[in-house]
Amino acid sequence: MQRIERHACFGGWQEVWRHASTTLGCAMNVGVYLPPQAADGPCPVLYWLSGLTCTEQNFITKAGAQRYAAEHGLILIAPDTSPRGDGVPDAEGYDLGVGAGFYLNATQAPWATHYRMHDYVVHELPALVEAHFPASDARAISGHSMGGHGALVLALRNPGRYRSVSAFAPIVAPSQVPWGRKAFTAYLGVDEAAWLEWDACALVAQARERLPLRVDQGEADDFLQEQLQPWRLQAACEAAGYPLQLGMHPGSDHSYYFIASLIGAHIAWHAASLGGK
């Protein structure tokens, strides 16, 4: 682990670290916010998964989350959205390849060697975080858009790993919308039955635990009707008896202005499950 940035922030430190990922076969950057409470011992961790085109920088520079993490004593971990670098496959367009890992384990060539973001976020990254920083094993997860999809799917696929899950404008049914269908065809192949293992609406039906689940969605989001469709998740949760806190927000769009408006409420909501310091 090599620290490449460090900035004093709300009594703590916003850092960026780089490491060689054995899961992804490339170097990865990770944003790490250490609240002031981390100087006194282990703190709970909130993992943030960003959306299409993003790096680790978008969340740490635009969301304003550090203030609230400092108030509640939470470490914030914001990884990149995909493998990156020489030898990592890419594609034309913003919604496939670099910057568009979709937080799954690809099974198809040429993607399968590097595009294993599920295993990276669920296994390799927490092991590094808990070994190198004053982090407890109390974890929560959140994300935006493609990263909201990732947060929902990772939490539903890995019972016992997270204590709460939230999302801003998530892709809730990727097997049913253009962004997801394009990515899943490339990464997972043409067997649509295999796609359901990475679709939150399908996973809710077989969930073995009932995590606190919160989703917030802007009603002025340009992607609401075609790509996001939160009503699909609402219906799936109702059918499965899975409690969902869904907030619809008039005037809010898909941008970080929306995230910044609600990130304090999300962090406080996660802190209630994590027991912040």
Residues with catalytic annotation? 145, 221, 254
Closest CA to 157 of 203, 117, 195, 191: 203
Closest CA to 29 of 39, 42, 19: 19
Half-sphere exposure of 104 (CA within 13 A, CB side): 28
Decide the pairing of beta strands 2-9 and 12-21. Answer: antiparallel
Tokens of 268: 């406080």
Residues 48, 57: Cα–Cα separation, whole Å? 11
231 contacts: CB under 8 Å, gap ≥ 6: none
Tokens of 89: 């496959």
3-class state of residue 169 by DSSP: coil
Q: Where are the beta strands (DSSP E) in 35-162?
A: 43-49, 75-79, 135-143
